[in-house]
Amino acid sequence: MTDILQIQSLNKSFGGIKATDDLNLSVQTGELHAIIGPNGAGKTTLISQLSGGQKPDTGKILFKGRNIAGQPAHKRASLGITRSFQITSLIMEMTVLDNIALAVQAGDGHSFRFLRPARSISHLRDRALELLKRVDLAEKADHQTVALSHGEHRRMELAIALASEADLMLLDEPMAGLGTHESHQMVELLRGIKGRHTILLIEHDMDAVFALADRISVLVYGHIIATGTPAEIRDNEAVQHAYLGEE
């Protein structure tokens, strides 16, 4: 298998705090790679540097062999990286369907069009509805986004990530704030997509991570201390000491 993403000696500091400290990581094409680590380990900072929200101080991010460390967010999206947000980031003033349709439109590549009403363009609408069906939200299509529950917002985030048909999906805590039932539903949804997309998953829910991941990397103080299959990680002493032991 080839590596779709290679991160080489990445560094990022905020003032005196090293959020990312000589971080090396590679993600193979098609795998679901999870990153776990205690609070403040720098997981979200890492995702931001990958998606372009923040620029690394030094180091390389090779995506399909090309260094993208200096590219802005919208460029990376067009190269094939998408992310979901830990804190729900949707357009609250729009309907559920409009949100998803915009994500489909982004991939469609025809946005400097001024004449036809966007809502009458059937291939965008149909694809958006199909995505909403995949995350069990089809019946809420015409609701205002702001009126939906947190769990539904999380699923919208997933639908948007799916819409881009990106080669690499960065999912930042898709289970954040979900109840037991909703978490379970999300695990099933992710299991359904797994294998079709390369996914880099950041998640606190250990049951979910160990159920879904092909490989797991453990991040502590901005540094990867171990990478391996779920079984290897479970048996790794350094990991147990640094992280799992605390629970």
Partner 1 sequence: MTRRTVLTIVVMVLVGLLPPLLYWSGNAFYLDLATRLVILAIAATSLNLILGYGGMVSFGHAAFVGIGAYAVGIPAHHWLYGGMDAIATTSGYVQIALAVGVAGFFALLTGLVCLRTTGVYFIMITMAFAQMAYYLILSIEEYGGDDGLVIDTRSEFAWISLDDPIQLFFLAYVSLVIAMLMVRMIVNSRFGMVVQGAKGNPERMATLGFNVYVFRLVAYVISGAMAGYAGALLGNFTTFISPEMMDWSRSGELMFMVILGGASTSVGPVIGAVVFIVLEEFLSHFTVYWHLPFGLMLMAVVLFARGGFVGMLTKRKGR
Size of the site for partner 1 (CB under 8 A): 37
Contacts of range 204-209, beta carbons closer than 8 Å, 24 or more positions apart: 204/36, 204/173, 204/175, 204/176, 205/175, 206/36, 206/244, 206/247, 208/175, 208/183, 209/34, 209/36
Q: Least distance in Å: CB of 231 to partner 1?
A: 34
Count the alpha carbons within 13 Å of 134 in the hemisphere toward its beta carbon. Answer: 20
Which residue carries 């609250």 as its tokens?
Answer: 92
Q: Least distance in Å: CB of 103 to partner 1?
A: 6
User: Counting contacts by CB under 8 A, is residue 152 touching partner 1?
Assistant: no
Among 39, 117, 237, 245, binds partner 1 (CB under 8 A): 117
Site string for partner 1, 31-60 (x = CB under 8 A): --------------------xxx-------
User: Counting contacts by CB under 8 A, is residue 92 touching partner 1?
Assistant: yes
Distances (CA, A) of 34 to 133, 168, 201, 244: 26, 13, 5, 15
Rg (CA), the chain: 18
User: Counting contacts by CB under 8 A, is residue 91 touching partner 1?
Assistant: yes
> 91 with 98: CB under 8 angstroms?
yes
Choose between 44 and 82: whose C-beta lies nearer to partner 1.
Answer: 82
Choose between 82 and 217: whose C-beta lies nearer to partner 1.
Answer: 82
User: β-strands 32-36, 215-220: how paired?
Assistant: parallel
Interaction with partner 1 in 59-88: which residues (CB under 8 A)? 72-74, 77-78, 82-83, 85
Q: Would you tell me which residues interact with partner 1 (CB under 8 A)?
A: 51-53, 72-74, 77-78, 82-83, 85, 89-94, 98, 101-103, 105-107, 110-119, 121, 160, 164
